[in-house]
Amino acid sequence: MEKVILIKYGELTTKKGNRNFFVHTLTENIKTKLKNYPIVIKKDLSRMTITFDEENLTSILEKINEVFGIHAYHVAYKVPSILEDMQSEMLTMLKNEEFTTFKIEVKRSDKMFPMDSMELSRYLGGVVLKNLKGKKVDVHHPEVLFQVELCKDYTYLYTNSIKGLGGYPVGTQPKSLAMLSGGIDSPVAIYLALKRGIKVDAVYFEAIPHTSLEAREKVITLTRKLAKYKNKITLYVVPFTEIQEAIYQKGNSEYCITIMRRMMYRIMDRLCKKHKAMAIINGESIGQVASQTLNSMAVINEVTNMPVIRPVACLDKLEIIDIAKKIDTYETSILPYEDCCTVFVPKHPVINPVLDECLKNEEKFDYEAMIEKAIENILVFPITIEDKSKYENLL
């Protein structure tokens, strides 16, 4: 008898053609996550087991809860697929549980086993009733659901089920670049994109001295919190001051935000091409501010052909905040450091911008050269949860 963590893939199993790739990616992600523990992983196309040292169980389970692509997991006992072994282990397990009503559920993938699922669950139910006093079967609302997964050589027995994070393993979709500000929305957008399996790296536009180094540190902290879900996130910090000052000196003030966002999108477009990223991700939410009306989005989006994924586009602010709290980015996001967007907000930003007006404003300065220069001077921070950089201490 061996105790294992039994992992179910969930959504993966619906992706028949790609199943191998999905299971392989998930395995690699779990291995990386658990690299500090002596474990053994075994997998097939429908389940995975992890053998572990008992003293590490709690911390291993916590880490598994941070991996996308897992539908559910169980702490299970693995016994040979022999009736006597199953029933004696079942009795040992149930003796330690306090309950009156129970149900036995059998899933049988070994069709050669002499009993079918119904027969086996009835048989094992009979063993419980005969050997343990005062127990009753309740198929609708049992206090203990005893599950039996019968495979060819081994059978897994468990009474617990822990819900996994769901989604797809990170890395099953190609790399994309996300616009990460210090606000509430963009970390949530990145979390949701990671959940779809996208390999997200992050880009932060900063306008020092109008924005502070603390604002950058806040973005680094947010990146580190998101790195829980992807081993390493590279954060690109774009020096945006020159472009932003030019926009505000030369441009029509009500168009400043629209043009600033077109400049950000232009830089994102180039960075995606440079780093072979397939899409731009951001935290825009329809109607949240003037630059996020559908009309504004269309005019801003006009500068790029890259797909722009907006995971929180249709969520209410309160729904976004709920997720931010769940993933522990909220408290950092509400720290009061200025973002380059908030520093330069005009009194009356245009809600329905016109493309021609943007083009007219943009003709007034040589933004191409400034964009090139900004890209050349990008700072790169490879961020993992473990690396306790000097930035952490400042917050």
Q: Which residues bind ligand ATP (CB under 6 A)?
A: 179-181, 183-186, 203-205, 282-284, 288-289, 339-341
Residue 227 contacts residue 383 (beta carbons within 8 Å): yes
CB 320 within 8 A of CB 185: yes
| Least gap, CB of 206 to ligand ATP (angstroms) | 7
**The tokens of 82 are what?**
């022999």
Q: Is 185 in the site for Mg ion (CB under 5 A)?
A: yes
Distance CA 336, CA 49 (A): 45
Three-class DSSP category at 77: strand
Distance CA 30, CA 17 (A): 22
Of these partners, ligand ATP, Mg ion, none, which one is at the site of residue 204 (CB under 5 to 8 Å by kind)? ligand ATP
| Choice between 34 and 184, CB closer to ligand ATP | 184
Q: Is 68 or 204 the residue whose CB approaches ligand ATP more closely? A: 204
Measured between alpha carbons, how far is 341 from 181 in angstroms, rounded to an integer? 9
Nearer to Mg ion, 176 or 186 (CB): 186
Three-state DSSP state, 70: strand
**Smallest separation, CB 92 to Mg ion (Å):** 54
CB of 47 to ligand ATP, least distance (A): 37
Choosing among Mg ion, ligand ATP, none, which partner's interface includes residue 179 (Cβ < 5 to 8 Å by kind)? Answer: ligand ATP
User: Measured between alpha carbons, how far is 134 from 126 in angstroms, rounded to an integer?
Assistant: 13
Q: Applying CB under 5 A, does 269 fall inside the site for Mg ion?
A: no
Q: How are beta strands 173-179 and 198-206 bridged, if at all? A: parallel
Q: How far is the CB of 253 from ligand ATP (least distance, A)?
A: 17
Nearest distance in Å: CB 203, ligand ATP = 6
- Label residue 328 left, alpha or beta by phi (over 0 means left) and psi (-120 to 50 means alpha): left
Listed residue (267, 181, 255) closest to 218, CA to CA? 181
- Rule CB under 5 A: say whether 339 interacts with Mg ion: no
Question: Least distance to ligand ATP from the beta carbon of 181, Å?
Answer: 3
> How many CA atoms lie less than 13 Å away from 173 in the CB half-sphere?
21
The H or E element spanning position 371 is: helix 367-376
Please report how close the Cβ of residue 313 comes to ligand ATP at its closest, in angstroms: 10
| Nearer of residues 263 and 341 to ligand ATP, judged by Cβ | 341
Give the residue among 368, 367, 351 at the shortest CA–CA distance from 255. 351
Using the rule CB under 5 A, give the single segment among 36-44, 139-147, 178-186, 268-276 that binds Mg ion: 178-186
Measured from the CB atom, is 71 or 195 closer to ligand ATP? 195
> CB-wise, 185 or 201, nearer to Mg ion?
185
Q: Is residue 114 helix, strand or coil?
A: coil
The residue range among 14-22, 32-40, 184-192, 300-308 that interacts with Mg ion, by the rule CB under 5 A, is 184-192
The SS3 assignment for 4 reads: strand
* Partner from ligand ATP, Mg ion, none binding residue 186, C-beta < 5-8 Å depending on class: ligand ATP
CB-based closest residue to ligand ATP:
183
Residue 233 touches which member of Mg ion, ligand ATP, none, C-beta under 5-8 Å by kind: none
Q: Length of the chain, please?
A: 395
Q: Measured from the CB of residue 323, what is the shortest distance to ligand ATP in angstroms? A: 12
Tokens at 245, concatenated: 């000052």
- Give the residue at shortest CB distance from Mg ion: 185
Q: In whole angstroms, how close is the CB of 27 to ligand ATP at the nearest point?
A: 32
DSSP sequence for 189-204: HHHHHHHTTEEEEEEE
Considering the complex, state which of residue 149 and residue 269 has its C-beta at the smaller distance from ligand ATP.
269
End-to-end CA distance of the chain: 49
The nearer residue to ligand ATP, 5 or 200, going by C-beta atoms, is: 200
Binding site for Mg ion (CB under 5 A): 185
